[in-house]
Amino acid sequence: GFVVILEKSGREFVIPEGKSILEVLRDAGLDVDFSCEQGICGACQVQVVDGEPDHRDMFLSDEEKAEGGMMICCSGSRTPRLTLAL
Ligand code: FES
């Protein structure tokens, strides 16, 4: 697992093995955009502020990844903490 930090509120969420960032945020009652939950539609894209995502989607180009985009329905983190522009 790893920890996600939301930049605006400072809230922190533990993302356990087998759960997506999207699932954890929705379970907490946050209103986040999503659709396919399979890494193909692009609806759940967020900007990474700090940390290194483990990209597992089929949506983002290498350029978009380099610019800090990530898909929270399916991608994880290579770093223990990941700060998102949410
Ligand atoms: Fe479709 Fe994440 S919900 S890519």
- pLDDT tens for residues 40-84? 999 999 999 999 999 999 999 999 999 999 999 999 999 999 999
pLDDT for 38 equals 97
Q: What is the DSSP string of 5-72?
A: EETTT--EEEE-TT--HHHHHHHTT-----S-SSSSS-TTEEEEEES-EE---SS--HHHHHTTEEET
pLDDT for 36 equals 98
pLDDT for 28 equals 97
Mutate to test the pocket of ligand 1, among 36, 55, 84 (most ligand atoms within 8 A of CB): 36
Quote the ligand 1 centre to 64 CA distance (angstroms): 15
Q: Contact 84/6 with Cβ under 8 angstroms? A: yes
What are the residues facing 5 on neighbouring strands?
12, 83
Residue appearing with tokens 């009652």: 29
Determine the Cα–Cα distance for residues 15 and 52; give it in Å rounded to an integer: 15
Indicate the SS3 state at residue 80. Answer: coil
